[in-house]
Chain A
């Protein structure tokens, strides 16, 4: 009989980490400007502006790191929300995060606030606040007004999403064309170069969030059987749900504030990993983080080079590439299961 042991899990995590680092390195080297590694690292002590290869490499690497952080956060958030809501269609945005963040972003654009918030742009800061506020609102409505069942939370999420989307549409219809462009670009999900401080802070936040979610993973396993069964199995369901929703919302909000609304990663990656590695969250959660990271790094690299010198939003690539890839995986694994019977 196969049991998951810490040793097996650590081996799998190390393999995935190695693969992710390979993907990140490869994607850093890909780009419109050909780079000679030897040249880039031969004289790194040169004054700025001299060693172009090194500087381009550095800028690309930061962008790759950002994609990895965002991809990991979205995938993990998707895993947790699918478990708690017991709904395979759930994604990180299902509880209103997308429309809340979108509303925050468009308010920031329209009000024309400038300056820096915590090394981030005003759009990031407003999107972050909007996302967290919406999740709180959905949780509050779901619990106070409708008793906190999975369905009532979903309904609250749908209603709040619809309402905020209407507000977003209203605001875009009154926006000037230059403001409109910034907003639409943000709503499509876009990975751009960020300051190292931003990367460090958000990376640490997301890593911390994923570790916190991991501590709840055994409770999440039981929760997929429904709240009553989870409680008779000794799981404090209120606590597990609070940790799950709270940290999933937090890492999603951080990711969204960095990159806008990148769809599909949080829906597809959990399913893909579950098909291959099974639904045990102690394994599903960390593996999804790596797969999500690698997936978004690759998608963003494609977005960067495919229409060069122009760039596509990464969200376009995740949707175009993710859909068929997932269907292939689904067909392959469902067939395998039927053959086994």
Chain B
């Protein structure tokens, strides 16, 4: 069964169309990567999915109910969003930030219940952030901060988790740690995860499905293996790439004009190119 259904979705900023007639569905418990060049509308799509902006046309159905029928509060119990790198103005501690995720469940007294505290502690434990629970966000590194925001999204206890380039400022170790964590969420908690990413290779390794949005409002959705082909990557991103294989998965290496091994792709394209 599909937990997210998007039909004929269109969106434009001041007549500049960003998304046109987008139709796709995400099965419950899937891990979907949204990829595409800058300005293709990936972040816009995430904002549409969590109701921050309204589409010009088309509809979004979440958990069998139209997005417009949700209140702000009930939507926050369905969808959690992790944004790109962010440091707040005031010095909240990690525990306070994660506890904010319980806001959509708060009663009139607006204090965390025993149940809320258990969930917050669990989210801190799963993301390995419990040991700096009393520190402020300013005192953490980028990778740690990103884990805290993922912890907050977990504590929000939603079936759907949206992420906007969660690994963009992180080193290899932390990138992999984030993807491992997300995969664990998918497998152990049955969460549906949608992440915008520029890292095609990590997406190919971890995600089940991919949505590739082109600069001309074209799009393609399917399994990562089907969607990410070298000709399509070259077309959509407009860059020459070297395509190799690790086990069953393909990997892509973009090579520009002055790249040391750019000659290599020209020969390999003539020779053993795959379609």
- List residues of A whose CB falls within 8 A of some B CB: 1-6, 83, 86-88, 215, 217-219, 221-222, 224-226, 228-229, 231-237, 274, 278-280, 282, 337, 340-341
Contacts and interface: CB of A to CB of B under 8 A. Distances in A.
12 contacts: A4-B112, A5-B111, A6-B111, A83-B90, A218-B103, A218-B110, A228-B47, A229-B81, A234-B73, A234-B74, A235-B72, A282-B111
Given A224-B88, A231-B72, A235-B72, A6 B109 contact: yes
A280 B111 contact: no
Contacts of A282: 110-111
Interface of B: 47, 50-52, 72-77, 79-81, 83, 86, 88-93, 95-96, 99-101, 103-104, 106, 109-112, 117, 120-121, 124, 130, 133-134, 136, 139, 156
Interface centre among B93, B103, B112 (most CB of A within 10 A): B103
A269 to B, nearest CB: 15
Given A2-B95, A87-B89, A278-B93, A234 B76 contact: yes
Nearest to B139: A341
B91 A279 contact: yes
A3 B52 contact: no
Contacts of B50: 232
Contacts of A234: 72-77, 103-104
From B72, B74, B88, B124, name the one whose CB has the most chain A CB atoms within 10 angstroms: B72
Nearest to B116: A3
Given A218-B103, A234-B72, A2 B110 contact: no
A40 B47 CA distance: 68
A241 B99 CA distance: 21
Contacts of B89: 86-88, 224
A108 B158 CA distance: 57
Given A228-B52, A233-B76, A234-B73, A3 B112 contact: yes
A221 B112 CA distance: 13
